[in-house]
Amino acid sequence: MPNAAQVAAGHKANLHNPNTSKESKENSKNILDEMMNDDDIPKDSENENKNPGNVAGGLKAALKNPNVSDEAKKSAEERLNQMS
C-alpha cells in the first residue's frame, strides 16, 4: 500500500508527463491541492524501511553512470562514505 508521499510523487509525475490527458493532469492537480490544504505535506522518511545494501548499490551505480552529473556523483560519494 503506497504511503502519502508516494501518492503525491505519482501525481507530481503525472503533471509533468506529456503522455497523460489534460483531465488526468487536472485531477492530479486537484488531489495535490487538497493534500496541501490539509497542511499535511507528505514527505518520505529518509531511511525508513530502506535496505542499506540496496541504498549503497544505488549510490555506487550513480558513481559509474555517465549520465549522472559531477555534482550528483560527488553527493553520492559523500553519502556512501557516511554509510561506512
58 assigned to some structural domain: yes
Q: What is the pLDDT of residue 42?
A: 55
45 assigned to some structural domain: no
Greatest alpha-carbon pair distance for the chain in Å reads: 47
For the chain, how many structural domains are there in total?
2
Q: What is the pLDDT of residue 4?
A: 79
* pLDDT reading at 41 higher than 80: no
Residue 44's identity, in one-letter code, is: D
Please report the sign of the dihedral spanned by the C-alpha atoms of residue 52, residue 57, residue 60, residue 61: negative
pLDDT in tens, 55-75: 899 999 999 999 999 999 999
Q: Which domain holds residue 57?
A: 52-83
Spell 7-19 as b/e; 16+ CB within 10 A means b. ebeebeebeeeee
* pLDDT reading at 47 higher than 80: no
11 assigned to some structural domain: yes
